[in-house]
Every structure is written in C-alpha cells, then in structure tokens.
Chains A and B, each alone.
Chain A
Amino acid sequence: MTAPVPSPMASASPNPAGVRITSLEERISGTGTGSSPLATQEYFVNMGPQHPSTHGVLRLVLRLDGETVREVVPVLGYIHRGIEKIGENGTYRQFVHLVDRMDYLSALANNWAVTMVIEKAANMETNERIQAIRTIVTELQRLHSHQLWWGVFGMDLGAFTPFFYGFRDHEILTDIFEKTIGARLTMNYIQPGGVMYDIHPDFVKDVKEFLAYFKPKLREYDALVTENVIIQQRLRGVGVLSAERAVAMGCTGPMLRASGVAHDLRKSEPYGLYGRVEFDVPVGTTGDCWDRYWVRMEEMRQSVRIVEQLIDNIPEGKHFLVKPAAKIKVPAGIHYSHLETARGILGVLLVSNGKDQPYRIHCRTPNFNNLWSITEMATGGRVADLVAILSSIDIVVPDIDR
C-alpha cells in the first residue's frame, strides 16, 4: 500500500471545521484518533469538467476520506479562449465585445470596465446622460445576475422551485434589456465615448413597472427560500472564510463583504453616478454560506433602491459623443482602472504603445480569486457541503479561464 501524496495545502490549511486530519498510517494502526481501528483509504474523485453543479466546465480534483473532503484542487483551462491575446490584434473598440463573453452574466459591467480604462487613458469626455444610463443598466444587470444566481443556488441545494421563480423575473428584465440594447445576454452596449443606442422610449416606464412588480417578489423569495429551515441548516456554519483569509486570497465582491470587510468600489471609489445615490453596503459577520446568501439578497434590495433614485431624472443630452467610426488612440504607457461587477472587482490593465491597437491587455477577474478560496473553505467539510460552497461563490467559469 502506498502512502498518500503529501500535500502542502493540507498541512497549511487552518482546518476551520475542527476535523482532525490523520494520516493513513495512523488510521491503519489505530493510533491516530483512537476512535476507529478500522483501516480507511483516501481516494481521489474527479468532479467535472462535465458536472451539473460546477456551472460550466470547472474541474475539481477531490481527495476524500469517506465523505470528508481532505483537499480540493481546481483544474482550469477547459474554456480558455485567449481573450486577452485576441484583444491585442484588434482596435480598442473591437475589444469591448470580447469581454461580453468573459463574465456573460454581467456583460455590461465588463463593457464599462474596458470603456472606463480607455476613456481615462485617452481623456475622452462623457456627459451626465451617458453616466446615468450606464449606472442604471449596470445596476439592473447586477439584479439580473443575482436573480439567476438565486435560482441556480436553489437548484444546487436540491430545490427546483426557486429556479422557476428566479427565471420568471429574470425574463422580464431580459425583455427590458432587449428593447433598449437589442441583446439578451451579450450586450456590447457601453462603448468608449458613450452608449451604443439611446434608451428606448418605453425604458423608464418599463423599469418603473418592473421595480413595482419586483419589490413584493423579494418578500416571496424570502418566504420560499430564506426562511426555509432546511436551507438555513445546510448553509449556516458551512464553508467559513475569515476576513483575514478572504483579504489574503484576494476575494472581492459579495464573498469579501460576507466575511465582514465592507469594501465596495461603488462606495470607496465612486464611478458613474454612484457618488450621488444613497445605498448601503451589506456586510456579513461569520463568512459562511449563509452570509454569502444573505449579502446577495440584500444587494438585490440595494440595487432596486439605486435604480429607483436614478430612473426619474435621466438628464437630457447625447448618448454618444465621438464619431462612430473614429479611431481611438491611447497615449503610450500603462493604464489601469477597475469597478465592481456582480461578483467582485474587475480590473483592466492596458499597456499602450501609442497606436490604435493595445500592446497588451490583462483582466483581473473576480471569479479567479473567489474560486481559489474553495481550497480552504471546503477542506475538512463534507462532499455534500462542497456543492453548497461552490454555488455560494457564484462562479462563472469563462471569467476564470478567459
């Protein structure tokens, strides 16, 4: 019998659930815990890339001892398309539509992140109307993304009904986007120098109707899932991530806030019209799956609040301030800008050599760092909890692999 492969991760992990990790020799000889003289054997299980709970093509290699997870190693690259490399071969404007396909559930925020760094570097002007439209649609898409997460989260925990409820409201919002933007998912709407199209004449009316419809529905979501005892039992105390570890691993967005760090770029470095609206940053206490669930539910309420404040007074003006076919040239140098998507901080680093094509682009995507926290959260827990933890991270795999 061979000894298990010693792993640096297992020895370094803080072992949050209080499970004693014993070696195979200890288990066989019965000297380790003293509880069981029966010999157990650690074994490896491959979860993914084809698995309904990994949200795409993520692959996790699990080292298991019975039902206990000893180690989780994510294996990436099953949807690596080289978006950053393709971006070097096109103009700045051509890069915008590629980032839609990165984190496709918050395509507008991705558009805005690229637009922001180009506008900052090239000193392009925008007006109030453009900023208002950008803020409203991005905030609506945060809602859109959280609705989908809520439905899928329920399905991963074994409840199918939330999926129907989440998608019912998701579709109404999709219709509003379709009217103005013309797309349902990959928007390509926010461009350097403005937004692609002016808002539809019905946009304001539709959004108001949706908000009036959706606010009572949030109470329905609570009654269905949040107040459910089974859900609470499955989430409380599972997958705890301390604030120190969350910061050390570079987690952002709802993951970080659930661990008790009130860091939100919308508050700390306001962009768009976020500086003018009132909203709270929901913060968790323990950093378990329940806190991550609760933070996202609260964020939906805050998004509704933000849109309500902005929707009535969209200023008049143009929606596009540069010539449609104009070449954008960015001065030579290194430029960086970041914003808060539905999943965390998306930073775009742009290296320019003064031509109309970028020399190098790098995207610091939120999901990559958020995913890696699973190596600490799931260790020592059960296999059934692993799915709940993975779903509470709310990963989008093409955003990890790019």
Chain B
Amino acid sequence: MGMITDGLPGFLEPLPGGSAVLTKVDQLVNWSRSNSLWPLTFGTSCCAIEMMMASGAARHDISRFGAEVVRASPRQADLIIIAGTIVKRMAPRLRTLYEQMAEPRYVIATGSCTIAGGPFIYHSYTTIRGADEIIPVDVYVPGCPPRPEALFYGLLTLQKMIREGESLRHPGERRRPVLSALPEGMTIEDIQAEMRDLLVADANVKMSEELAEGAHWAQELKDF
C-alpha cells in the first residue's frame, strides 16, 4: 500500500493517460479506506455510553457500516470518535493519542462538549471549549449525548468525505464536500432565508396562538 500511495503518482502522472488511471486508483483507495475504518475506544464521559450502544450492542450495530473493529490501541486505529468532555488535563493525552494513530487518520467529534463546551461552556475553569482546539476535526455530531443514529449519520458523512475528498496527488489534504449533502434543487440562499425566518419566528411570540395551541399549559397557568 505504501508503494502505491507514495510512488504511484510520480510514476503515472508523466505517462499519457496516466491522470485518468490515477483518478481510478484514487477511487479504489478511497473506497477501501472509507469502508474499513478502525475506531479507537476513546470515551471520557456520557457520550461514551451512547457510543458503546452504537458500536457494541446488537440493535444499532455499527458493523453494518464497516467500522466495527474497535481497537484499544491508537497504533491500530485510524478513526477517533471523541466521546465526552475534554478538560485541560486530558488535552495533552488526546493530542498524543491522535499523533500515535495510523495515517490517514480521521476525527469525529460527538456531543456538544466536543463541539463547543456544551453545558460546561460558561464558568468552567477546566473545560476545553471544543476538541478542535486540540486536534483537527472532520465531522461534528451534535447532541447531548447524540443518539446512535446521529453517530451513524456522522460516520456516513465521513465516509462520503473520504470517498470524494481525497486524492493520492495531494496526500494529507481533504476537500470537504459541504454542499454535496444538500438535496436536489436547493441552494444555500434558500437555507439562509429559511434560517432567517426561523430565527424571526423564534424571537417573536404570538400570545393568542400560543394559548390556543397549548390549552393544557394555559389551564395550568390559570390555576396559579
């Protein structure tokens, strides 16, 4: 593998038609990489339990997506699922684990704590506000903790990213296909407009509608 990934681009590129072959080799390599991710058992808190439910237990069963070989040693793993809060004392260890992992290595950050600090974002003197301050993160999975299904969506996104975003010509560089996840016929402007409407709707409350909808709460409020 090392011979192919390191030597092939320099050998094929000067040949006539070599670029087309190289693109095919890219596809093959990315396909095999994306379907044989070996995650590391790394969990610091609550998200680790949901990760166990997703990866170990029979109902959700992560092996359907080709990522079931969970390893305890970072040297045998190429995917780290950061499950749980990272605090200042753990941060150097996380960095060490990341550097010990086999290349090319991928990172999924699960849970609000690893995205921005989660419930510990204010007034905590130890929490790292987001794991991306320590190591580069490929996919973020929100939730507190995220459901196993959410983790699977994150894993599928990562697989898509590996398949479409890497080339042997530029090892270590990834293109992030952010817009490729959009449904057909939808543009980023539509989403922004929708977000604006949502924010406006969130910020304004029509009391008459609220009371009509939530008759239950209205009754309860009247009792006091």
Bound-complex Cα distance A56 to B48 (A): 8
- In angstroms, Cα B86 to Cα A78, docked, is 8
Interface residue? B31 (CB, 8 A): no
Count how many pairs of residues, one from A and one from B, have CB atoms less than 8 Å apart in the complex.
Answer: 108
- Check if B124 sits within 8 Å of A82, measured CB to CB: yes
Binding site of B, secondary structure by majority: helix, strand, loop or mixed?
Answer: loop
Question: Contact between A97 and B124 (Cβ–Cβ < 8 Å)?
Answer: no
Q: Which residues of B contact A101 (CB under 8 A)?
A: 45-46, 85, 119
B44 and A163 within 8 A (CB): no
Residue of A nearest to B94 (CB): A50
Most buried by B among A80, A85, A97, A170: A80
Interface stretch among B17-25, B54-62, B130-138, B200-208?
B54-62
Q: How many residues of chain A get a CB closer than 8 Å to chain B's CBs? A: 39
Which single member of B45, B97, B125 contacts A50 (CB below 8 Å)? B97
The residue on A at minimum CB distance from B118 is: A101
Assess whether B93 is in contact with A186, with CB atoms less than 8 Å apart.
no
Residues of chain B within 8 A (CB-CB) of A56 are: 43-45, 48, 84
**Neighbour of A164 across the interface among B57, B93, B127, CB < 8 A:** B57
Interface contact A78-B44, CB-CB below 8 Å? yes
B 33-61 to A, binary, CB cutoff 8 A, 1 in contact else 0: 00000000111111011101100111100
Would you call B125 and A171 a contact (CB within 8 A)?
no
A284 at the interface (CB under 8 A from B): no
**Chain A residues near B57 (CB-CB < 8 A):** 163-164, 167-168, 170-171
Given the complex, which residues of A lie within 8 Å of B224, measured CB to CB?
323
10 extra A-B contacts, CB within 8 A, seeds A56-B48, A82-B120, A86-B122: A50-B93, A79-B44, A80-B89, A81-B87, A81-B126, A82-B123, A148-B49, A164-B57, A323-B224, A397-B44
List residues of chain A with CB under 8 Å of any chain B CB. 49-52, 56-57, 77-83, 85-86, 88-89, 97-98, 100-101, 104-105, 148, 163-164, 167-168, 170-171, 174, 184-186, 320, 323-324, 397-398
